[in-house]
Chain A
Amino acid sequence: MLSIKNLHASIGDKEILKGINLEVNAGEIHAIMGPNGAGKSTLSAIIAGNENYKVTEGEIFLDGEDISELAPEERAHKGVFLSFQYPVEIPGVSVTNFMRTAINETRKANKLEEMPANEMLKVIREKSELLEIDRKFLSRSLNEGFSGGEKKRNEIFQMAMLEPKLAILDETDSGLDIDALRIVANGVNKLKSDKNAIIVITHYQRLLDYIVPDFVHVLYNGKIVKSGGKELAYELEEKGYDWIKAEN
């Protein structure tokens, strides 16, 4: 589904990604771990199309199509979703209105009619139940005054609404207490299918107790330096990142 080949990227003069190769197939969960400053968030931002970063070399394919030149909204229309580490606030725009706009813009881009209001309400009801979200929450301004946990849960609610092909969860566990973490992880697991793929970016092994990855990759200094199964996460937890740093 996602195929990243020799990806190099920089911000300003600083090269952050130094040749990333990654293959993700439908039905898989990949975890990308690594110390601060390794380039994890940069990688997720670049897959989503953030234009603050410059891709200097390499390609990103989604279902065989090179998406490296596409605008972020075009990538979204093709099913790329990023759960932000720091979701932004948009005052005066309700969660519902935001979702309605996002869904209809995506449908429009895919030459589909707008989703009828009653269907929209039905989907909203289903997905909010799935994530144990109080419906009152949905009429609040997007992320404004949300707690850390509410923001993250709202990100996963949006993922549920948009049903992406490829979801990248950037440090979704940061700022979550253990109960919120369980709810968010349960939500993600319910959304998981053999048609979509999930990339989980995290510092800690903790989240991976709930969202069990098929593959774990260690990103260090702009490169994937180690890949393995879920046991790699435990090894990292035990030995710490110094182990990786020492080897590289």
Chain B
Amino acid sequence: MCLNFLMVLKNKKMPKYTEDHLRVELESKEYEYGFYTDIESDTFPIGLNEDIVRAISHRKEEPQWMTDWRIEAFRAWEKMIEPEWANVHYTKPDFQAISYYSAPKAIDPNKTLDDVDPELLEMYKKLGISVDEQKMMNNVAMDIVVDSVSVATTFKKTLGEKGIIFMSISEAIKEHPELVRKHLGTVVPQKDNFYAALNSAVFSDGSFCYIPKGVRCPMELSTYFRINQAGTGQFERTLLIADEGSYVSYLEGCTAPSRDENQLHAAVVELIAMDDAEIKYSTVQNWYPGNKEGKGGVFNFVTKRGLCEKNAKISWTQVETGSAVTWKYPSCILKGDNSVGEFYSIAVTNNFQQADTGTKMIHLGKNTKSTIISKGISAGKSNNSYRGLVKVGPNADNARNFSQCDSLLMGNNCGAHTFPYIESKNPSAKIEHEATTSKIGEDQVFYCNQRGIPTEKAIALIVNGFSKDVLNKLPMEFAVEAQKLLEISLEGSVG
């Protein structure tokens, strides 16, 4: 069974409603924000212009400052050009052929899990995903609604008692405008790059999290998040603030395959770790990678960055197995003295997938430390690139970095590439870089076979061994799922 076989993209039905209709409507009425739309359909007309940006903001009932912020981003985006430096090749999306707003999908009361593709259900079973979560992911109403609601309520209550704010960013804009306004765009500015600018203009939804001073978040922000993240759309925006001396471990994504109908995904994640705070951010990404011939699949162009104040620590851990094209560099700005940045990554590419991923560690403060461990696994005809920057500023005395980039090749038609950049402006900096490239050998597979381990299982064992340093950094329950995911993603890749 192959991952690709599981996911068939459905054609989205576009209403016969054009931009011209919208413009007429926009011009004909006026509303409190100087703008009006009465679009009731769940999907906006395709295309992007200032009116669409205003319409999104209006639809989400955002305050004026938020609308202005989006418009500012949009105007910057219009002047920008799509970057081409990444080691990936694809047909550029037509930004005027995309619809920029879809309401979250409603639960279909007549749908049951029996209506869901059995192959997909089989996959969930392999990954050990609970029935409730399966339903959530497929917009199936839950039989035991009480259970999930009570779980969510318990979470909310526990978090609430500690003063932790955890909600969608749309809610946060309304309920905690002062926090959002103060921090949004401070780590990833609107004009940071082409996709960040696009996201800033049109972001659909995402998560907001604030951990108050000195609070240690008592749970991994995982299950609750996973259940609630379904349908956040293609332009996700996450803002996570850990106030002084606080700690949070945050899990994003899901090992289950996402059958997303949107080809382009451009998310932005901003993390702020104030003095003595620690953020552990783990991601598992498994979007539709396209079929075996390389047709279709999600383009994932993400900007993730964290800011560390004094003695703060940010740790990024990612397991990337999905998407046709991935462009992603979770980074740390080590601004405060003694701050620490970590990046642990496993990126798997199979068939025709392309990934250009890595990190940037920007050392600005004194005694700042960073660790990079990147494991790239390429199979099929895929290409997997590590791209990393370690930058040491003139004031970053005694900055330390250790980077290790390992690539594992399966077969003769895939590629592994490493692009490490080092810029040091401080003579006391110490930067180490190690890199290895290896291939799963026939002799290794035969050795396993001889001990009774079939080839697929042998590959999984070897791949898991290769990825161990990173898998160990994931929270326990996530690590088990991720391990199975690696296995499934590479099924049939050696034969």
Which chain A residues border B464 with CB–CB below 8 Å?
Answer: 92-93
B residues 93-110 near A (Cβ < 8 Å) are none
Interface flag for B451 (CB, 8 Å): yes
B218 adjacent to chain A (CB < 8 Å)? no
- Give the residue among A81, A92, A97 with the most B Cβ atoms within 10 A: A92
Q: Is A162 touching B466 in the complex (CB atoms < 8 A)?
A: no
Cβ 8 A contact of A92, one of B444, B452, B454, B467: B467
Q: A72 with B461: in contact, given A91-B466, A92-B468, A101-B453 (CB under 8 Å)? A: no
Q: Report chain A residues within 8 Å CB of B455.
A: 73
Is B462 an interface position by the 8 A CB rule? yes
Which residues on B sit within 8 Å (CB–CB) of A105?
Answer: 452-454, 457
Closest partner residue, chain A, to B444 (CB atom): A88
Q: A88-B447, A90-B444, A90-B461 are in contact. Are A73 and B467 (CB under 8 A)?
A: no
A102 in contact with B444 (CB, 8 Å): no
Whether, in the assembled complex, A49 has its beta carbon less than 8 Å from a beta carbon of chain B, the answer is yes
- CB atoms of B449 and A76 under 8 A apart: yes
Chain B 425-453 interface residues, beta-carbon cutoff 8 Å to A: 441-444, 446-453
> Which residues of chain B have C-beta atoms less than 8 A from A92's C-beta?
464-469
A102 touches B465 (CB 8 A): no
Contact B465 A73 (CB under 8 A): no
Are A141 and B465 touching (Cβ within 8 A)? yes
Interface size class, chain B: 20 to 34
Could you tell me the distance in whole angstroms from the C-beta of A119 to the nearest C-beta in chain B? 18
Query: Chain A residue with minimal CB distance to B438?
Result: A91
Chain B residue at minimal CB-CB distance from A83: B450
Q: Per-position contact with B for A62-75: 1 when CB-CB < 8 Å, else 0?
A: 00000000011100
Contact with B454, one of A73, A91, A98 (Cβ below 8 angstroms): A73
Is A73 in contact with B452, judged by CB distance below 8 angstroms? yes
Task: Tell whether A189 is near chain B: CB-to-CB under 8 Å.
Answer: no
B453 touches A102 (CB 8 A): yes
- A105 and B454 alpha carbons, distance in the complex (Å): 8
B469 surroundings in chain A (CB, below 8 A) = 92
| A-chain residues with CB within 8 Å of residue B454 when the two chains form the complex | 71, 73, 105
Which residue, B441, B465, B466, has most C-beta atoms of chain A within 10 A?
B465
Give the Cβ gap from B331 to chain A, nearest Cβ, in Å.
27
Smallest Cβ-Cβ distance to A82: which chain B residue: B450
Q: How far is the CB of A84 from chain B (nearest CB, A)?
A: 7
List of B residues within 8 angstroms of A73 by Cβ: 449-450, 452-455
Query: Complex Cα distance A187/B50, Å?
Result: 79
Contacts of A49 in B (CB 8 A): 449-450
In whole angstroms, what is the CA distance A98 to B454 when docked? Answer: 13
Complex interface: chain B residues within 8 A of A84 (CB): 447, 450
Contacting residues, chain B, for A97 (C-beta < 8 A): 461
The answer to whether B451 and A87 touch across the interface, beta carbons within 8 angstroms, is no
Q: Is the CB of A106 within 8 A of B452?
A: yes
Q: A211 interface residue, CB < 8 Å from B?
A: no
B471 CB to nearest chain A CB (Å):
9
Chain A residues closer than 8 Å to B450, beta-carbon distance = 48-49, 72-73, 76, 81-82, 84
Say yes or no: B441 contacts A98, CB within 8 Å: no
What residue of chain A has the Cβ atom nearest to residue B469's Cβ?
A92
Q: What are 24 inter-chain pairs, A to B, with CB distance below 8 A?
A: A49-B450, A50-B446, A71-B449, A72-B446, A73-B452, A73-B453, A76-B449, A76-B450, A76-B451, A77-B452, A81-B450, A84-B447, A84-B450, A88-B444, A90-B444, A90-B447, A91-B465, A91-B466, A92-B466, A92-B467, A105-B452, A105-B453, A158-B451, A162-B451
Per CB-CB distance, the 3 closest pairs between chain A and chain B, nearest first, are A92-B465, A93-B465, A76-B452
Given contacts A76-B451, A81-B450, 18 further A-B contacts (CB under 8 A): A49-B449, A52-B442, A72-B446, A73-B449, A76-B449, A84-B447, A84-B450, A88-B441, A89-B444, A90-B448, A93-B461, A101-B453, A101-B457, A102-B451, A102-B453, A105-B454, A141-B465, A162-B452
Instruction: Give the A-binding residues of B (Cβ under 8 A).
Output: 441-444, 446-455, 457, 461-462, 464-469
